[in-house]
Amino acid sequence: MGTSKAAVFMEPLKPLEIQEFPIPEVEPGAVLVQMQMAAVCGSDVHKWHDSSAKGPMIFGHENVGSVAQIGRGVVTDALGRPLKEGDRVVFRAAPCGRCPSCTQGLTCSVNLLYGYIPSDKPPYIRGGFSQYIYLDPSPWVLKVPDEMSTERALLAVIGNHTTLLGLEKIGGIHTADTVVVQGAGPIGMGGLVQSKISGASRVIVIGGPESRLDLAKEIGADDTVNIDDYPTPEARIDRIRELTGSIGPDMVIECSGAPSAVQEGLEMVRPGGKYLVLGQATDYGQQPINPSLITRKAIRVEGAIAGVAPYSYIVRSLEAMNSVVSYPVEKLITHRYVLEDINDAFKAHESYEAMIPVVLPNG
């Protein structure tokens, strides 16, 4: 079957290494995918910094590829549509159907997400930063519509499906709501796009640098607040009140991951409003918040993360990107790298030079 080059995480803070792995024979029920595009996610960079992280591991969990070989018995995708070699797909590991997460309709906690599976034993190639990725028997595979760009398909699994889950949990956005998005990174852009197509009449994005805020305006932001111009929580809260009136916005969506963002957002949102937390995925330890704001202002608070989003939200996000989202979201993919330049892609993400850097494993 030949070999597959891959960028391998060996240990924290060390450059990822380009290695070659044998491509296994595709067993019945399995699928071999040739990678087309994989995004460098903030969680990849966080794991690279995590002193407890163990290698070897091939990162890359936000992926689009094409079917290279199908094992015997695989004839359709997750929606029952015929599947053949050459079809572009997004994918996940098969849910086991028995664990507590599966029982509750959440992402399986037994079969790990590709990009988080150790690469210390066959079939090795289990992440998107590889020329090929091997999907275990009975994988969850979803075809990308022929008319859809690979970039849009990738963006469907970057922030957007998580935001869909969060908005549903919190009761949705009402027509003509004003929404503030804290954070101008990939998750923030997902919050912006989903807010606009859900009926928000006005979306304000807080973040930086200016280049990211310019992109936010291109894909639908009505106003932006640059954290360089408003460097303190008090200044940003005052600016949001200037823009929305003293009552504040109907909803605030936290997408920044900044330790102080939650307290800031609770102060911004109007009485009776909603506060959705999507960006707090890194444990910074205890952070001061005033819980009386939640009761005194009767705020509805919810949280969501991609790791527990049911697969149905990927289906909906992909369809929304294809048929509903009219904004030029492809512009969010600002930097492209060949596999050998993977470490430059990490640097571009970490320095905020790139909005979304992607790796093209096969050039």
The CATH number that applies at residue 42 is: 3.90.180.10
Total tally of structural domains belonging to the chain: 2
Residue 140 resides in a domain: yes
Q: Residue 284 to residues 17, 49, 69, 281: CA-CA distances in angstroms? A: 29, 14, 43, 9
pLDDT of residue 229: 98
Residues 162 and 219 reside in one and the same domain: yes
Domain assignment present for residue 198? The answer is yes
Is 263 found in the same domain as 333?
no
**Rounded Cα–Cα distance for residues 172 and 157 (Å):** 20
For residue 151, being part of any structural domain is answered with no
Q: Does residue 138 sit in the same domain as residue 27?
A: yes
Paired tokens of 241: 């009140």
Q: What is d(CA 58, CA 129) in angstroms, rounded to the nearest whole number?
A: 6
Question: Are 142 and 302 contacting, i.e. CB atoms less than 8 angstroms apart?
Answer: no
CATH classification at residue 298: 3.40.50.720
Residue 161 neighbours by CB distance under 10 Å? 27
Range(s) of the domain holding residue 34: 3-144+328-360
Q: Is the pLDDT of residue 199 over 90?
A: yes
Q: Is 286 contained in some domain? A: yes
Q: Are residues 193 and 170 in the same domain?
A: yes
At 214-247, the pLDDT tens digits run: 999 999 999 999 999 999 999 999 999 999 988 9
Q: How far apart are CA 244 and CA 85, in angstroms?
A: 52
Shared domain for 163 and 133, answered yes or no, is no
* Tokens at 30, concatenated: 């399995």
Is there a single domain that holds both residue 297 and residue 162? yes
Whether residues 224 and 292 share a domain: the answer is: yes
Same domain, 231 and 284: yes
Does residue 78 form part of some domain?
yes
Token code pair at residue 198: 């859900």
H-helix or E-strand containing 358? strand 356-360
For residue range 298-340, what is the model confidence (pLDDT) as tens digits? 999 999 988 777 889 999 999 999 999 999 999 999 999 999 9
Q: Are residues 168 and 190 in the same domain?
A: yes
Task: Write down the pLDDT at residue 134.
Answer: 98
Kindly indicate the confidence band of residue 282, based on its pLDDT and cuts at 50, 70 and 90.
confident
Question: For residue 321, is it within any domain?
Answer: no
For residues 57 and 104, state if they share a domain.
yes
If asked whether residues 13 and 125 sit together in one domain, one would say yes
Q: Is residue 221 one of the residues assigned to a domain?
A: yes
**pLDDT higher than 80, residue 129:** yes
Average pLDDT, the chain: 95
Report CA Rg, the chain: 21
Q: Please indicate, yes or no, if residue 149 is contained in any of the structural domains.
A: no
Q: How far is CA 209 from the centre of its chain?
A: 20
Mean pLDDT for 67-71 is 97
pLDDT tens per residue across span 90-122: 999 888 889 998 888 777 888 888 999 999 999
The enclosing H or E element of 194 equals helix 186-197
Q: What is the pLDDT of residue 246?
A: 87
Is 178 a residue whose pLDDT tops 90?
Answer: yes
Is the domain of 20 the same as that of 135?
A: yes
